[in-house]
Structure 1
């Protein structure tokens, strides 16, 4: 009883000390909680990327498919590029370089249209014309090999202004080719060309950060939360 009275007296005589303790623990517990939340989020992202990697490894290869390919499956097509209908996907980056990606419609031997990502061109941030980088029309058939990406609202990306600038487009979307009716909603990211064409760099990856990196980030956030908790206890004492 006497001890409780002394504590109450101290609290009444020194309200600033009590408020300081509340503020101290509020700030540090918020840091700890944020670290744990971010650690858990990165752990989940690692699991998602691992599942995506497994899905890509298990996907079957398709040769001139009649049905829509599975997301991240390997697809081999025989046909012709419609080079005159090429557009440039703007604001791409690769190894610190700024540039664009060449997107060209492709008609296969069955007459189906596919959208092909043919690779990265480094523009060094310049906004000049890119017509000199578009291959000339050819009548011969070519065989191409790529990874199929099914498009949806998240794949196409969010942009404030979706209007094209000349032949530059802000996101991958089939609406920029209104003259064509595509059989499937997606884009084939070119990997191999049997004729040796399209030696551009491959900028697209199904994931930009590997599962191992996500796990590393998760560990970093967890350790930050642990250090913050220790600092809060020791520092307050």
Structure 2
């Protein structure tokens, strides 16, 4: 094998292992983030705040909130691609008018119709309501498929503040109230830290395998 090809294979080996190690480190970072989030959730889940108290905290996610207000008519939005027990559906997001501004409320999961053009038929409670639930981060999809979202569409893919502003006519508070209508076992993460740790081990193992394969290859070429 020529010197040029040898250096080329070495460069490719370095590039692949660097990428794999970087992905492994990223997965470890994600595991730490999820572990911290779950720890905060355990510490805060039984602490109840009023809305004015929640607005004074930099990261109020995980605390419980008791709040009253009135749902804005015609403001229902359906957060798409939400899986529950293996079924595809939506999370129904409603705007609640409060004395401190508009609050996005995640009222629960609804199954999707076989005809994706048809959204669930729901009714809006009339008059003032008193709600209790958990404060969570506004959901944003990990990837953007491109194109500006339709501000008039009821089916949405994320709770982007600008989209909610266009749809509801007011800026929303910096958190979402998730109503506790699905039991107390809900946790703020879908993929736990153990899964991320497992992925990190896989990336590191693949990086090691690449180096082992490269060393075996170079040794055989040298002996040939």
Report deviation, 1:147. 2.8
Q: Tell me the CA shift for residue 205 of structure 1.
A: 5.9
1:207 aligns with 2:189: yes
* Distance verdict in 2 for CA 1:131–1:111, change over 3 Å: farther
Aligned to 2:78, which of 88, 92, 95?
88
Structure 1 pair 230–124 and aligned structure 2 pair: CA distance change class (3 A): farther
C-alpha separation in 2, matches of 1:169 and 1:100? 9
Return closer, same or farther for 1:125/1:232 CA change in 2, 3 Å cut-off: farther
| CA separation of 1:94 and 1:81: change in aligned 2, threshold 3 A | same
2:135 pairs with 138, 144, 147, which one? 147
- Look up the SS of the partner of 1:90 in the other structure: strand
- List runs of 5+ in structure 1 lacking aligned partners: 1-15, 193-198
Deviation at 1:127, TM superposition (A): 3.0
C-alpha separation in 2, matches of 1:39 and 1:179: 43
Question: Deviation string for 1:185-212 (max 9, x for gaps)?
Answer: 32112224xxxxxx6x99x963332111
1:119-154: per-residue Cα shift (whole Å, max 9, x none)?
Answer: 22221563333262x2243346444322332x5xx8
TM-score (norm 2): 0.74
Kindly report which structure 2 residues correspond to 1:151-166, keeping only aligned pairs within 5 A, or say none. 151=138, 155=140, 158=144, 160-164=147-151, 166=153
* Number of positions where the alignment pairs a residue of Structure 1 with one of Structure 2: 208
Alpha-carbon contact 1:85-1:105 (below 8 Å) kept = yes
Aligned: 1:105 with 2:105: no
Structure number with bigger Rg: 1
User: Quick check: 2:52–2:100 contact (8 Å CA) kept in 1?
Assistant: no
Please state how far the C-alpha of 1:222 moved relative to its aligned partner.
Answer: 0.8
Are positions 1:127 and 2:116 aligned together? yes
CA RMSD in angstroms comes to: 3.2
CA distance 1:20–1:179, change in 2 (3 Å): closer
1:38 aligns with 2:23: yes
Contact 2:110/2:120 (8 A) holds in 1: no
**CA shift at 1:226, angstroms?**
1.1
Provide the residue aligned with 2:174 in structure 1. 185
CA distance in 2, matches of 1:141, 1:177: 22
Q: Is the 8 A contact 2:30 2:196 kept in 1?
A: yes
1:116, distance to aligned residue in structure 2 (A):
0.3
User: 1:92 touches 1:99 (CA, 8 Å); kept in 2?
Assistant: yes
